[in-house]
Every structure is written in C-alpha cells, then in structure tokens.
Structure 1
Amino acid sequence: MKYFDHKYLASLDHLYRINLVNSSSGFKSANLIATKSKEGISNVAVFSSVIHLGSNPPLLGFVTRPTTVPRNTYKNIKETGHYTINHVYEEIIEDAHHCSAKYDASVSEFSMTNLKEDYDHACLAPFVKGAPVQIHMKFREEHDFKINGTIMIIGEIMGLYIKEELLKEDGFIDLTKGKISAINGLDGYTIPQLKTRLPYQRPKRNIFSEQLFDKIET
C-alpha cells in the first residue's frame, strides 16, 4: 500500500493531486444538470456530486465550485428556480463529458454537442432527450462551505421521468438496464452492473448472551 500523508499530499503536482483526491471517494453519479437563463439560453453541464438528501420531501443536492468566476448553472438556477437532473448513459458519455468545457453564457452546450433538448409544460429548464432518468428540480436552499468556497444547492423533486423497463414493482430503479454511467475521479467513465439486492437488515440476535441469561434465570 502506498501512503500519502497530509504534507505529502500538499507537495504533489496540482493535476496529480486533483486526480488522486477525486478518485479516492469512490465511484460517483454522472449527471447532466440543465438550466435556462432569463434570456432563454439553455445550458447543460456535467456534475458528479449529486446526492440524495431525503425522500419526504424528496430532496437532492449537488455541489458547485466557487463563484469567483461565472458559473452559468448556478446563476440560472438562482434566477429561475428550476433545473433538471439527467442521468448520463453509455451512448452520450463523450458529449456529456464535453459539457465540462467552459463556454460563455451566450453559448448553449446543446448546440456544441449532439445532445438534444426536451421539454414538458411544467418545467422551464430543458431535459436531456433520451436520458433514462430525467428529474425536474425546484431550488430550495443553498449552503456555503467556508473551508473551500464551494456551494451546495438543494432542490426538491417536482417530477420524475423514468423509462418503464428500469422501474421495479417496489419502486427500485435498475440503473444497469439503462446502461447508466458512473464516474471514477474526474474523467473515468464506467457502466456498472448490478450484483445483487439485499433485504432490509436488522441486528443479529446474540445467541451466546441469550443462553447465558437463560442459565442465570434458571
């Protein structure tokens, strides 16, 4: 095992350290977050930080980098209050990754890739056409992290589109059937395979303690 202490981490080459630390957290979700500006220009960016925060109300969060430079996704969400989360799947990995490029706010990433916009009447922001899971989100809160200037955006799920073949009777979404991607680090994309599902776990009975208690009682 190679060991990196805190001092060694700080001394590493910038790009090496970024790759190392980003990979250390394990596989992450791969999502395209799509927004639309007040001027009507669509934006779509790839994020690997979307997390589940609760089911009642249904909340998802994601982290955006510091706003020391223009952040089109953040700006559009704050101005309009609506955005969509779209799962990256195998066929669009390259186009999704290109959405990490820094385009001016006047340029829509949809026009620079083969990704297509899709709309429903309830959501101002576009969905990514063909994504097996598409989520309409409404902005609820933001939380600033003083330690590094990043911001967590918390939104509530307003609507869900899910391909029917992915949806199980108990509500479980089988992402593997949609060939949905995960991200390893910054730029490593993989298509996971479901190994198994396990039942809800309860504490194991301590048979030895129970037998000992029975002997004391008798």
Structure 2
Amino acid sequence: MVRIDPAHSSAADIYRLMVGAIVPRPIAFVSSTDANGVGNLAPFSYFTACSSNPPVICFCTAVGSDPRPHKDTLSNIRATGEFVVNIVSEEIAEQMNACSASVAPEVDEFDLSGLTRLPSELVRPPRVAESHVQMECRLNQIVTVSDKPGGGLLVLGEVLLFHIDEAVLDGDKIDPARLKAIGRMGGPTYVRTHDRFDMTRPK
C-alpha cells in the first residue's frame, strides 16, 4: 500500500487523489441569481443529501487561488439565501459541461448553454427545464471548512419543493433507468448509471 501524508503533499496532489478515489460523485447543477436578478448555473460534484426530515441537501464549493477565489454561485446564495439543485441526466451532459467554464459574473450560463429557464414557485432562481428532478432550496447554513486555496465551503439548503418529471417515475419511486443520471469521476471522466446491482440489507 502507498502511504500519502497530506501534511507533506500539495493541495493539488491531494485534490487529484480525492477525486480519483471518491467516485462516482453525483452532480449538483445549481441555479442561482445575484441580488440584481442576473442568473448563474454551475455544476458541483461534491454533493449529497444529509437529512430527510426536514429534507436538506448540501454541496461544496471550492476556494480558488485566483483574484476571485469564490464561485459566483456562493456569492449569489449569500446574497439571496436561495438556489435550485437540478439533477444532471445524460441528455444534458454537454450543456452542463459548458457551464463549468470560468466566465465573468455578468454572463448567464443559461444563455451560454442553451438550457431553458423554468420559473420556480417558491424561490427566485429559475429551474433547468431539461432536468428531470429539480429541488427548490432555501439556505440553511454555510460552513467554512477551509478558506485556504483548495479549501471548501459547504452549502446546506432545505428543499422547499421537489419537481419530478413523471417520465422518470415508477409508481412512487424514481426509476434510475429512466433518470439516466451521470456521475463525476477523476479528471474529465464521467460515468453513466446503467450498470447496477441489488443487495438486500441484512436484518
């Protein structure tokens, strides 16, 4: 076994190690708006659920080393307290990837990607119409894990409203074969969710 001590490794090396080992990672495609209503759409692959009562989801936004170390998404959520998480399926993978480009704050990634804005019901940021699952969220809290370059801020949001495309439902459950969600691996690699197996939990 290779032993790696983070205290003696660069942040970039540790990042590559973590994104290569912690796989596959689901993608939070987060739509937000700034205080003036300018839209933003960005993917985050440090993303999971953390509570179902109340429903709370979280994603982590990394701290960069350039003159603007924080993502526009974080600034927008701090300003408005609202965001939407849209689940990424295979058919919008290319558009999602286009939204990962570093662009000026005044650039609206909905326009950049060609994705369709869909008005939300309880929050100001729009939903992505092409996404099969959309979650309107109100900010719960932001936890600063580390404010160093390569560090991260954990954004927790309470889901106020779920929007589920009936086409991906099998009764009262989401059918993964219909959802066709994608996940993030290391580097430029993504994964489809076609190859699955079931295991019954021990009693």
Partner AA of 2:155 in structure 1: I
Paired residue for 2:41?
44
1:73 Cα deviation after fit: 0.2
- Describe how 1:177-188 pairs up with structure 2 within 5 A: 177-188=178-189
CA deviation string 1:175-212 (max 9, x = no partner)? 3312211111242122112634444431xxxxxxxxxx
Q: Could you say which structure has the larger radius of gyration? A: 1
**Alignment length (residue pairs):** 198
Paired residue for 2:169?
167
Taking structure 1 as reference, are residues 164 and 88 closer, same or farther at Cα in structure 2, changes over 3 Å only?
Answer: same
Q: Name the Cα RMSD after superposition.
A: 2.5
> Retained in 2: the 8 A contact 1:93–1:189?
no
Paired residue for 1:81?
81
* Counterpart pick for 2:62 among 61, 65, 76: 65
1:11 Cα deviation after fit: 6.1
> What is the SS of the residue equivalent to 1:77?
helix
> What is the SS of the residue equivalent to 1:115?
coil
Q: Distance in 2 between matches of 1:9 and 1:176?
A: 42
Give unmatched runs, 5+ long, in structure 1: 203-218
Q: TM-score scaled to structure 2, two decimals?
A: 0.86
Taking structure 1 as reference, are residues 11 and 139 closer, same or farther at Cα in structure 2, changes over 3 Å only?
Answer: closer
Paired residue for 1:151?
153
Give unmatched runs, 5+ long, in structure 2: none
Q: Distance in 1 between matches of 2:181 and 2:10?
A: 33
Instruction: Name the structure with the higher strand share.
Output: 2
- Describe how 1:50-129 pairs up with structure 2 within 5 A: 50-66=47-63, 69-129=69-129
Paired residue for 2:3?
5
Q: Distance in 2 between matches of 1:175 and 1:106?
A: 36
1:35 Cα deviation after fit: 0.2
1:121 Cα deviation after fit: 3.2
Q: Distance in 2 between matches of 1:4 and 1:97?
A: 33
1:99 Cα deviation after fit: 1.3
Q: Distance in 1 between matches of 2:147 and 2:37?
A: 34
Q: TM-score scaled to structure 1, two decimals?
A: 0.80
Q: Distance in 2 between matches of 1:5 and 1:53?
A: 30
Partner AA of 1:108 in structure 2: D
Taking structure 1 as reference, are residues 23 and 57 closer, same or farther at Cα in structure 2, changes over 3 Å only?
Answer: same
Q: Distance in 2 between matches of 1:64 and 1:95?
A: 20
Partner AA of 1:80 in structure 2: T
Paired residue for 1:138?
138
1:173 Cα deviation after fit: 1.8
